Amino acid sequence: MSIEIARETLANGLVTTAIHRPWGKTAMVCVDVRVGARYEDPRDAGLSHFLEHMVFQGCADHPTPDAVNEASERLGSAIDASTSRHHTHYEHHVAADRLAESARLLAAVLSTPRFMSIETERGIILEEALDEFDEGGARIDADTISRRHLWPDVPLGHSIIGELSHIKRFDMDDLERHHQTFYGAANMVATVVGPQSTEALLSIARDAFGGLRTGQRHAPARPEAPVGGPVVDLVRDHRSQCDARLVIRTPGVDHADAEALSLLRVALDDGLASRMHRRLGAELGLAYDQWAMWEDYPDTGAFELGAQVSPGKVRTFYDEILGLLEGLAERPPSGDELERVRFRARWAIHSALEVPEGLVALYGTPRLWWPDPPSPAERLTRLEAVDTATLGRVAARLLDPEQMVAVCIGPLDRTSRRAVRARLKQLGESD
């Protein structure tokens, strides 16, 4: 048995994808909205995340938050949601025979929110925000600080959760305005996954979402040239370990180097046999919590290497991370290592094809940005075409100090701060 895919754009402009998964005993309906930190004016920073919380606080058919929760859990799981810089995602994992009811419930929640219990939810969001601020209200979130330096000219660098002052002042008018602006069918995509035929799945989507107002499709501002680096931002905070990161601005997934960037991330951090874990973990015992990631958008990206390390090891962390990047440029994966990296990339895609969430991520959500995104088979073909020379060339581009931002949050003493700044300054002078 294999999956089948069908697509349709409804009369109201909603892009829909039906994924026939014949062996499944469960189903899923998802809606992605083209809204997030990247689409916000500075005065609205954090409003997309606030709105995501508030759409569950009652709707036309289920007038209270409890009624929404009870309705969703009678069908399967609770409705889940998340807001990123680039979009907001809603999903409901349910019993296969409850998929039509689930789609109607999600449509009602998204189209007719009542915004009940705003003060209760404000308190929850303020609690969530505590991880990003110290007791004096200063930001201590390395993710936001680094992205502000990386994309200083566009809202892509804004915090997802927003400023504390914003969270405290957002009101009903703000919520209704933001909802009216962004939550139209033309600014959304919907995906339904289940054992039903693709035509039955599309019929479920038409019935549930065909009545949504059309609204307007929104496009974000594109980043311009970044501030020349290397930028070093060391933020004092009273914690036991330092959150140390090196973040490099890259092209996005529409660029010819996208597949190479994906594979370089795998070479650094995909399993305990990857270069970063072997060096920082097994050989040096430098860090238990470490990572490499590529935050990718159509038009730009952020290649990040980070770790939680003790204050006395921060300088060593930056030395080793830069050494790993230099090693990728001088000795890019080849032979058995290249085959391992390719296998891990294939395995990730094949694993995603096994579960509803993965199918949505591969076939549904990308239609927010591309009318005909590449299929998993096309992605695999592109990944397999990346050779050692290409990996070395793209890795060398990651060493451009003009694109680098180093951020460290923690109790660094004066000597360590000077050492880290000197190390990054040396990189810029050697360019």
Q: CB–CB of 339/377 below 8 Å?
A: no
**Average pLDDT estimate for 149-170:** 93
pLDDT (0 to 100) of residue 137: 87
Quick one: residue 328, left, alpha or beta (phi over 0 = left, psi -120 to 50 = alpha)? Answer: alpha
What 3-state DSSP class applies to 315? helix
To the nearest whole number, what is the mean pLDDT of the chain? 94
What 3-state DSSP class applies to 284? coil
Q: Is the pLDDT of residue 229 over 80?
A: no
Fold exhibited by the domain 231-430 = Cytochrome Bc1 Complex; Chain A, domain 1 (3.30.830)
Residue whose tokens read 């003790």: 310
Q: In CATH, what number does 4-209 get?
A: 3.30.830.10
pLDDT band for 423, please (50, 70, 90 cuts).
confident
pLDDT (0 to 100) of residue 324: 97
pLDDT band for 94, please (50, 70, 90 cuts).
very high
**Pair type for strands 80-83 and 88-95:** antiparallel
Structure tokens belonging to residue 52? 């995501």
Long-range contacts of 307-312 (CB under 8 A, 24+ apart): 307/244, 307/280, 308/241, 308/242, 308/243, 308/244, 309/241, 309/242, 309/244, 310/240, 310/241, 310/242, 311/241, 311/242, 311/410, 311/411, 311/412, 311/413, 311/416, 312/416
pLDDT (0 to 100) of residue 77: 94
Q: Is the pLDDT of residue 371 over 70?
A: yes
Q: CB–CB of 406/249 below 8 Å?
A: no
Residue whose tokens read 């695999």: 380
- CA distances, 399 to each of 70, 395, 418 (Å): 52, 7, 21
Q: Is the pLDDT of residue 3 over 80?
A: yes
Residue whose tokens read 């005909």: 372
Which residues are registered as beta bridge partners of 292?
305
Alpha helix stretches (DSSP H) within 45-197: 47-54, 65-73, 99-111, 118-129, 142-150, 164-169, 172-182
- CA quadruple 350, 354, 357, 361: dihedral sign: positive
What contacts 169, CB < 8 A, 6 or more positions away? none
Q: Do the domains at 4-209 and 231-430 have one common CATH topology?
A: yes
**Average pLDDT estimate for 316-341:** 96
Q: CB–CB of 160/36 below 8 Å?
A: yes
Closest-CA residue to 325 (of 413, 246, 408): 246
**Average pLDDT estimate for 120-132:** 93
Distance CA 320, CA 305 (A): 11
Query: Where do the domains of the chain lie?
Result: 4-209, 231-430
Residue 238 exposure: Cα atoms within 13 Å on the Cβ side: 3
What is the residue type of 359?
L
Structure tokens belonging to residue 340? 């391992």
Q: CB–CB of 140/244 below 8 Å?
A: no
pLDDT band for 428, please (50, 70, 90 cuts).
low
Where is 305: in which H helix or E strand? strand 301-309
* pLDDT 10s digits, 16-54: 999 999 999 999 999 999 999 999 999 999 999 999 999
Distance CA 375, CA 380 (A): 9
Q: Is the pLDDT of residue 430 over 60?
A: no
Q: CB–CB of 132/139 below 8 Å?
A: yes
pLDDT (0 to 100) of residue 412: 87
Distance CA 389, CA 366 (A): 29
* pLDDT 10s digits, 189-214: 999 999 999 999 999 999 999 999 99
pLDDT band for 431, please (50, 70, 90 cuts).
very low
